[in-house]
Chain A
Amino acid sequence: MTTGVDRSRVPQPGPVPAVRFPTVRMVRLANGLAMRSVEHTGPPLVTFRLAMPVGSASDPAGQAGLAALTAALLDEGSDRRTAFELHTALDRIGARFGVEVGSDSTRVSLTTLSRSATEGLALLAEIVARPRFDDADVARVRDLRRSQVRQLRAVPGALADRVFLETLFPAHPYGHLGIGTDDSLRGLTAMHVRQFHENAYQLGPATLIAVGALTHDAFIDAAERAFGEVEVRPVVESAVVDPARLGAPGPPSARLVLVDRPGAVQSEVRVGHVAVARRTPDYHALQVLNMVLGGQFVSRLNLSLREDKGYTYGVRTSFDCRRAPGPFSMRGSVQSGATVETLQEVFAQMEAIGRDRPTTPPELDLARAALTRGFARGFETAGQVARGIGQLVLHGLPEDYYDRFVTQVEAVDASAVTAAATAHLHADRAVAVIVGPADQIAPGLGVLNLGDPHCVAP
């Protein structure tokens, strides 16, 4: 080649870009509602996000799915509009409306063009504060969700997630999917939904987040108009669960769980255990550890199981850090015939990284760099910024948290990663859930030394 390009080595990137999180203005509206706004230049749009610290962990005993059902009914009409009228109003301003329900929180969001910001925010307030909750609507949506639960029984990933949570968190508010079960949904009525809304959707602990191409003053003005008449009261403490105050779950109900999926060409697998809460001081070390073990393409587990052995399209691990300790999990779908080999590899790697195969300097460099250099692109859009602020609010993180993130990750050294692995990664008590063809898999499971598989129906 005659060329000016030096192809003897790959160019190295420059230093980690210095990025500051955008300036957030924090105010309380006249009625007391907490609000945070960001002036975000870019396309002429705005994103509003109402973050409430009540989620599926607050589902009453026997009523799994109530928080998510309530959320799903918010846009089914208000005191002054039917569902059709409400959605016509949303369509008229080109709005995107969405509700997310996690174990610890509920987030209601609306994105619209900047010119429709006032109208959009007024609709958001109407949806959250004055939902219709007609008997017939509640029954209809409840039945739709029962159908959804039924369909999820045929989706291997959803099935594995459900059984994994049930096994890790027996009799615990984290032990069910947000959607609930057919049994729990069947008994829910409009009365339950109205009561849950009355108890849990009070805006005392909520935060309204506004990000987009408007000024702080314009955001606050729109919010005063939209939420001005809404009374801000505390939630009814006895009716909601703050997971941070919960005791630890009991031991898992089994170490090895098998859900038969006759004839399936792949096994959907989960391996993991209850790990840590978001407030852990080891959070950044755990992020680095996870990158090395299974949190990115070039992690040990993905490279081994996909690129070396060819068992899978890909696997990932994560520490789900909630207000209370959530699960560490490895997730993936592997050739049925390689199920046992996959599980052996996962358990071995979980064991090794805190002991005889600690993270190497190149692995550590790559993991930290992926987190620090990649940080800037995490806050490109208004939605990403709003989501980021939502995390600060939910977990009570300091206002300068994102500005300190890079420094905190850079401070994680090899010994911190090993210490985090030793403290928070426990192959010796991890649970394995398999959704796959039992007749093909069961005979080989003995080598895992996890006891006889506990068989669960889909």
Chain B
Amino acid sequence: MLDYTKHTLDNGLDVIVHEDHRCPIVAVNLWYHVGSKNEQPGRTGLAHLFEHLMFEGSAHHDSGYFAPLQKAGAAVNGSTSCDRTNYWEVVPTNALDLALWLESDRMGYLLPALTAAKFENQRDVVLNERRQQYENRPYGMALMALMAALFPSGHPYHWTTIGETADLHAATLEEAHAFFRTHYHPGNVSLTLAGDVETGPALARVRRYFEEIPAGPVSPPVVVGGSAATSDARASDGVRLLLEDRVELPRLYLAWRSPRLFADGDAGMDILAEVLAGGKTSRLYRALVHDRRIATDVSAAQGSRELDGWFCITATAAPGHDVDELERVIGDELAALADAGPEASEVELCLTQVEAQFVYALQTVGGFSGRSDQLNAYNVFTGDPGFMTKDRVRYQQLTADQIRDLAATTLIGGGRVALSVVPRGGADRALVGSTVARVS
């Protein structure tokens, strides 16, 4: 669906170019194949903190990266997940050199400019981000409790990408330097240019800026500790947890381990989520929100990650109702789905939606989830930037029976984590038998 070329430079940098001349802009998008999964317990949050440091200046431009880029009319951002860290700019075509100069300078020459003062300041900023997005946000700590319970201690998904506050305080400048030397080098990066560029000259420009950067060490493998061990969630009755929070209405999270990204069953879990809670025609929306009116909202999602997946159903109790009613009705719906499977027409509607999403996702060359981001995602996770074609086929081949079997094996047969988030002082409103989740 997307035309592109891919070249790998001698230093290991993957370079992908996608032409689109409709708008005089070009997206510059870099995926560093490092995320919170590459952290060590006790130093969680370092990958994301490091992302912040990448914007604070490099050896030859030792001041903030936003100023020259915004002056060029760029949109600029970056993000960190458990699996990867991305950086992108969308610039007017005639500012491509600026973007490549800056990206190559921070890839090749960051450390001389990475000082204690910047490290301290960005640690404060990240602690503020954590307060704003997690601690002071209703239901904001739920993800931490879920990850810790689904993935055993030693598994790199046991912690969340934002990290533990104590770990962020404990991190040092020297560790940040070491993190850069280990993970931030051309062989660990996929760079995509998408937009108003000619492939040949664009590639030549990338060579000019990036070829001089030496290849780095082979990144150490990620140790999936605990995966052989049995997670607590594998116990027959699962795990029941509760959090008291500054919220008005109780919310129930039901979560399971599920197939990892692009593994057998991964696409099916997406469709299962759609059948269960995708919009107003979905089974759980109708059962919980429309018909019984015991929930104010419901959602479901397959979290496709590189090493392991997780699947989560989330529903908020309507006033006068509680999470045990939600659990019962959701359980009935899951049992029915695992027994009889979805109707063929339900699956067909979901697949139509998925097809349309693939088209809608082509609208922008840059930004999060734009075409450049997709090409890098496919390249980093499969080695094939053109994997989109196969990705679509994964869905097109799905049948109602496969969805039924996935519901039976992954949800009904899988170990479950049930988390109740209840208003403060309302511990008795959690599912019976819940124990307090430890989050900080």
Which residues on A are within 8 Å of B, measured CB to CB? 1-5, 7-8, 10-17, 19, 41-45, 75, 83-84, 87-88, 91-96, 111-113, 140, 143-144, 146-148, 150-151, 153-156, 261, 264-266, 268, 296-298, 303, 306-308, 310-313, 333-335, 365-366, 369-377, 379-383
Contact = CB atoms under 8 A, between A and B. Distances in A.
Contacts of A1: 212
B227 interface: no
A151 B249 contact: yes
B97 to A, nearest CB: 4
Interface stretch (B123-131, B152-160, B391-399): B123-131
Given A91-B352, A369-B72, A147 B94 contact: no
B94 to A, nearest CB: 3
B93 interface: yes
A312 B247 CA distance: 23
B61 A333 contact: no
Contacts of A154: 138, 246-248
A272 to B, nearest CB: 20
8 contacts: A13-B71, A13-B98, A15-B94, A146-B319, A151-B249, A154-B138, A265-B131, A311-B128
A60 B127 CA distance: 44
Q: Which 4 A-B pairs have the closest CB atoms?
A: A373-B73, A94-B356, A14-B94, A310-B124
A5 B209 contact: yes
Contacts of A94: 352-353, 355-357, 359
Contacts of A306: 125, 128
A150 B318 CA distance: 11
A43 to B, nearest CB: 4
B92 A148 contact: no
Given A7-B60, A365-B71, 9 more contacts: A5-B101, A10-B98, A41-B22, A45-B363, A84-B281, A111-B360, A298-B67, A366-B67, A380-B363
Interface residues of B, number: 75
A16 B73 CA distance: 9
Contacts of B128: 266, 306, 310-313, 333-335
Interface of B: 22-25, 59-61, 64, 66-68, 70-76, 90-95, 97-98, 101-102, 104-105, 109, 120-121, 124-125, 128-129, 131-133, 135-138, 208-209, 212, 246-249, 279-281, 286, 289-290, 293, 296, 316, 318-319, 349, 352-353, 355-357, 359-360, 362-366
A143 B293 contact: yes
Contact of A369 (B23, B25, B73, B132): B73
Given A88-B281, A335-B128, A370-B71, A151 B296 contact: yes
A140 B71 contact: no
Contacts of B209: 5
A308 B209 CA distance: 31
Contacts of A146: 319
Contacts of A266: 128, 131-132, 135-136
Contacts of A7: 59-60, 101, 105, 109
A44 B362 CA distance: 10
B289 to A, nearest CB: 7
B196 to A, nearest CB: 9
Given A147-B296, A377-B75, A370 B70 contact: yes
A204 to B, nearest CB: 30
B342 to A, nearest CB: 13
Contacts of A148: 296
Given A42-B363, A87-B280, A153-B248, A297 B98 contact: no
A301 to B, nearest CB: 14
A87 B281 contact: yes
Q: In the complex, which of the residues B94, B105, B129, B209 has the most CB atoms of chain A within 10 Å of its own CB atom?
A: B94
Given A84-B286, A296-B70, A45 B279 contact: no
Given A12-B98, A298-B66, A381-B363, A5 B212 contact: yes
Given A45-B359, A298-B67, A307 B23 contact: no
A84 B120 CA distance: 54
B104 A375 contact: no
B236 to A, nearest CB: 35
Nearest to A312: B128
Contacts of B94: 13-15, 17
Contacts of A264: 136, 246
B360 A376 contact: no
Contacts of B104: 5
A310 B121 contact: yes
Given A5-B101, A13-B94, A140 B293 contact: yes
